Amino acid sequence: MLETGILVFLGILGLAIKLPPRISLRLLAYPLWLDLGITAFVYTLHIGTYSGLMTAAVAGVAASFTISALRRVYGYVKQGRYYPGIIHIDPRRLI
């Protein structure tokens, strides 16, 4: 269950990497809603068995930790203003 949860999380992370940086940083401005949305989506996909729900739980927890880490490392954009993280991104790249 741990391995499959991590694989599910890596699949979601792979999809998120394809998003443009501007959209990613705007989504990171709302960590609670992003976390709830990802977790609900994964639970919905894997509902029906105990192992499926445990897989979804692992993926949800991994997503939660990753969202927190990404906010600290890259920052976020809220209401058109960039709040930088440890790694500062040039705002001109976000247009």
Domain locations in the chain as residue ranges: 1-6+25-83
Confidence bin at 70 (pLDDT 50/70/90)? very high
**pLDDT for res 94:** 67
b/e code 25-64 from CB counts within 10 Å (16+ = b): bbbbbeeeebbeebbeebbeebeeeeebeebbbbbbebbb
**pTM of the predicted model as reported, rounded to 2 decimal places:** 0.86
Span 42-46, average pLDDT: 93
